[in-house]
Structure 1
Amino acid sequence: MSGSASISGLSSGLDTASIIEQLMQLEAVPQTRLKSRLTTEKSVLTTLQALNTKVAALATSAADLLKPAAWNAVTATSSETKVAVSAASTAGPGSFSVRVDRTALSHRLEMASAVGASTAGTVPATVRLDRLDGTPAVDLATDGTLNGLARAINDPANATGLRATAVKVGPDQYRLVVESAATGAAGDFTLTDAADGSDLLGGATVRAGRDAQVTIGDSIVATSSSNTFADLVPGVTVTLAGGTASGTTSQVVLARDPAATTAAVKALVTAVNSILSDIDTQSRTGSGTRGPLAGDTGIRSVRDQLLNSVFPGDGTSLSDLGIQTDRSGRLVLDEATLRKAYDTDPTALQARLTAPGTGFVDRVRAAAATASDRVNGTLTTAITGRTATIDRLDDGVEAWDLRLELRRNALTRQYTALETALNQMSSQSSWLAGQLSSLTTSGS
């Protein structure tokens, strides 16, 4: 802001404030141009950053598709609904039968005596829990009631690994059921009076915990503490529904999943085309609005490298795999042709698409990685250059702010001085006129 007072047109009758403002607009033309360029550079930087993000994501996707697990997708099916099966990427094709010998059960005690839930003295003040797995026994403090014992067993702070439930069997008569939270033979336990080791509440009916067991084929037996058999075969997990009858048999089939492979390749082609489209839009020239990246040879080189990834570089073509280019410079995927190649020889298809240096997927990864490398990528370098330019322009705009402020102050002082001088001259003119008038009057 101006540090001098301005008397606009007091003596001259001129609107000096408007004159100064118009002069300042002329003085600010260079800064306005700088600001306009700064806006353009920021727009270009935003465009480059968005493009770099997509290219980096493409590099990651292509790298993931190069991993063997990406080509080993299988679907797992079970002929029996009570025998569920799932397959991880490490699973391979195959089939086997699963016969359920038994499902897993938790260890359970059903106390014999029915007592009042809050009747004091029905339960010892201290109850000993022995898990029978070699770990030290735990003494649980109660208030002498059935409810108190149930609370002590269920208290998370005691970490008993058990669940206790009071079941009503008559008017204010309850029997206690205590069950291990986990299934399996290793979950067995006892509850006794800590003072003398005697039974609680008239003793208990015991249902022993047990492991689940299945037979693979005719003679291979597998057990699990739960109804889930993880990695029963590499990458395959089988889960039994609770209560599945012994002898239930399921045929499990693991088949390659061509749809998953086709979808993965299609997703990569779509991602490449999306980037090519973005580059074309941002680089457009000719009539109409020019794209912010028009004329940028670095960006064009990124486009060329991505498009050329479809050419193995050994004189062959991927058209027999359904991958080629069209007249508009985009990739085209014929899913039926790709599926046929997969069905014919999935291993050969994988090799041609992922071979180092010549495989389509590897070439896409290399092109995308070269463009988006964090240190010296083509797009990274462009972003760094634009950022430096923006910093310089910001400094230039700030310098012009100071320069224009000084110029405004100078103009304000200049016009204020002009008004002051004119005012003094006007005062002197009035004084002289008065003196002359008095002389005329005196002479007459």
Structure 2
Amino acid sequence: MATSSISGVASGLDTAGIINQLMALEAVPQAKLKSRVTSEQSVITTLQGLNTKLAQLTSRAEELTKPDGWRAYAATSSSAAVTVSTGTGVAPAGFALTVEDVARTHQLGFATAAALGDVVTGSGTTVLLDRLDGTGPVAIDAGDGTLSSLVAAINDPANETGLRATAVRVGEGSYRLLVESATTGAAQDFTLTAGDGSTLLGGATVRAGTDARIDLGTGITVTSASNTFADLAPGVSVTLGADAVAGTTATVDVRVDSSGLAGRVQSFVAQLNGVLADIDAATGSGTRAGALSGDSLVRGIRQNLLDTVFPADGTSMADLGVQTDRTGRLVFDADAFATAYAEDPAAVTEAFTAPTTGFLARVEGVARSASDRHDGTVTQAINGRNQTITRMQDSIEKWDLRLEMRRTTLTRQFTALETALSQMNSQSNWLAGQISSLTNQRS
């Protein structure tokens, strides 16, 4: 219950100020708790940022450990008209090819020209589409049967014709109908006739759809309905470009690219050094203190990450291009890596990617043990500090109630003091008046 007071009316004292000063002293323990909460929240924010970086390092190490993540391939073609790309499961490959044909759409160019508003569907308003695959003709409703309506009906996705139609302007107000399959390949052939079976627009000149075909020069001919030969070799796809024509030749080469592989390792080492730099900033360097200054857990993680360059057999990764420097970071020597890889690719691959014992697996183990979302050491530290903050916030709330009660008590005490002094002042004034009256009577 709130208690009011009249500050210093009787005593002349600033009782409100005195109460505020006393309350400031009473609130010192609560202020310390609030300061600790702020400090703990700063530590948690730093730990969360570090935990995220460690989790990302875990994922990157795991990705590179996989065969497709570790290997890097350079795919080249001797012809700009033939491109080559690699995907999963790629293996070294090399072959020469000659283009015998490229993939084309099936086209019909109709002979009779008409205006867009002319009826062109014969006696009815439908046309028959026969895909020549044995399924029989399909009737397409051409609306009012005009050329523009027929083009719209063929192109309407709802009709699922698999065709593209265009009214090609050949003169003033005069158009000829061009229809082609939406995709390439010899199996895309079709015919279009009027609904009554009669010839549509004077009949059509046909450009038959074709499959792409390449000859590998050893009696092996490969065909594709499109101009891309997917997985022509394991993980290797070849695409014929717009400039490819019959007779185009190309030599395709797919080989392990040690420079590309070195780039991946260098990128990984840079990511690991980023984590080490974050730890240094958090734990303090030189005279600058960080949010995690003196935190043995984080310092231990840093040391464990550096120790990953030393395999259990007592050797090091220096001959393979990875070592530590005087600043406590990792450095990568691309030339040393390339030399080692050229001499023994299998041994280098094993040193980096072997389960449990490989460099990448060792880094992953350290990072995962720290950042695992269930039992990682950094994760547990974050959870523990969050619980501590919760307890301190509960204490702060209890202090709010305690301080409110204390202020009420002090206010009542000083109000009682003012009241007592006011009464004493009244009595003193009355006595003074009585004494003065007696003195005047004697005179």
Same fold, judged at TM 0.5 (above): yes
1:46 positional shift: 0.9
Name the residue aligned to 1:153: 154
Name the residue aligned to 1:112: 111
Cα distance per residue 1:216-252 (max 9 Å; x no partner) = 2332111111111111111111111236221111001
Distance 1:135 1:413 in 2: 99
Matches within 5 A, 1:218-237: 218-237=218-237
Quick one: which amino acid aligns to residue 382 of structure 1?
A
> Per the alignment, in what secondary structure is the counterpart of residue 222 of structure 2?
strand
Distance 1:428 1:202 in 2: 129
Cα distance per residue 1:114-153 (max 9 Å; x no partner) = 1111124665411122222344543222212101101111
Cα distance per residue 1:375-431 (max 9 Å; x no partner) = 221111211111111111111111111111111111112112222222222233333
Asked whether the 8 Å contact 2:85–2:236 carries over to 1, the reply is yes
1:160 positional shift: 1.4
1:105 positional shift: 0.9
Asked whether the 8 Å contact 1:84–1:239 carries over to 2, the reply is yes
> Per the alignment, in what secondary structure is the counterpart of residue 104 of structure 1?
coil
After TM superposition, the structure 1 stretch with the greater mean CA deviation from structure 2, 18-27 or 378-387, is: 378-387
Distance 1:178 1:104 in 2: 17
Cα distance per residue 1:345-399 (max 9 Å; x no partner) = 2221101122233321111111111111222211112111111111111111111
Name the residue aligned to 2:333: 334
Asked whether the 8 Å contact 1:74–1:89 carries over to 2, the reply is no
Asked whether the 8 Å contact 1:78–1:253 carries over to 2, the reply is yes
Distance 2:255 2:235 in 1: 13
Quick one: which amino acid aligns to residue 94 of structure 1?
A
Asked whether the 8 Å contact 2:120–2:200 carries over to 1, the reply is no
Asked whether the 8 Å contact 2:81–2:243 carries over to 1, the reply is no
Name the residue aligned to 2:171: 170
1:171 positional shift: 2.2
Name the residue aligned to 1:273: 273
Distance 1:241 1:38 in 2: 64
Distance 2:223 2:65 in 1: 36
1:303 positional shift: 1.5
Quick one: which amino acid aligns to residue 399 of structure 2?
W
After TM superposition, the structure 1 stretch with the greater mean CA deviation from structure 2, 348-357 or 20-29, is: 348-357
TM-score under structure 2 length normalisation: 0.95
1:282 positional shift: 2.0
1:89 positional shift: 4.3
1:331 positional shift: 1.7
> Per the alignment, in what secondary structure is the counterpart of residue 309 of structure 1?
helix
Name the residue aligned to 1:130: 130
Structure 2's unaligned 5+ residue stretches are: none
Distance 1:378 1:235 in 2: 40
After TM superposition, the structure 1 stretch with the greater mean CA deviation from structure 2, 372-381 or 418-427, is: 418-427
Asked whether the 8 Å contact 2:276–2:329 carries over to 1, the reply is yes
Structure 1's unaligned 5+ residue stretches are: none
1:273 positional shift: 1.9
> Per the alignment, in what secondary structure is the counterpart of residue 231 of structure 1?
strand
Quick one: which amino acid aligns to residue 319 of structure 1?
A
1:318 positional shift: 1.9
Distance 1:318 1:405 in 2: 65
1:334 positional shift: 1.4
Matches within 5 A, 1:206-355: 206-242=206-242, 244-284=244-284, 288-355=287-354
Q: State percent identity of aligned pairs.
A: 55
Cα distance per residue 1:81-132 (max 9 Å; x no partner) = 1111112242222210111010011111111111111124665411122222
Quick one: which amino acid aligns to residue 98 of structure 1?
L
Distance 2:354 2:433 in 1: 107
Name the residue aligned to 1:22: 21
Distance 1:291 1:248 in 2: 65
Distance 1:403 1:217, change over 3 A: farther
Name the residue aligned to 2:189: 188
Quick one: which amino acid aligns to residue 254 of structure 1?
V
Cα distance per residue 1:180-217 (max 9 Å; x no partner) = 111111211121222x2111111111111111111123
Name the residue aligned to 1:382: 381
Name the residue aligned to 1:11: 10
Distance 1:41 1:136 in 2: 76
What's the RMSD between the two structures over aligned residues? 1.9
1:25 positional shift: 0.7
Distance 2:136 2:379 in 1: 62
Quick one: which amino acid aligns to residue 23 of structure 1?
L
Distance 1:199 1:35 in 2: 90
1:415 aligns with 2:411: no
> Per the alignment, in what secondary structure is the counterpart of residue 252 of structure 2?
strand
> Per the alignment, in what secondary structure is the counterpart of residue 101 of structure 1?
strand
Asked whether the 8 Å contact 2:110–2:203 carries over to 1, the reply is yes
Distance 1:388 1:138 in 2: 71
Distance 1:122 1:369, change over 3 A: closer
Name the residue aligned to 2:84: 85
After TM superposition, the structure 1 stretch with the greater mean CA deviation from structure 2, 50-59 or 242-251, is: 242-251
After TM superposition, the structure 1 stretch with the greater mean CA deviation from structure 2, 328-337 or 31-40, is: 328-337
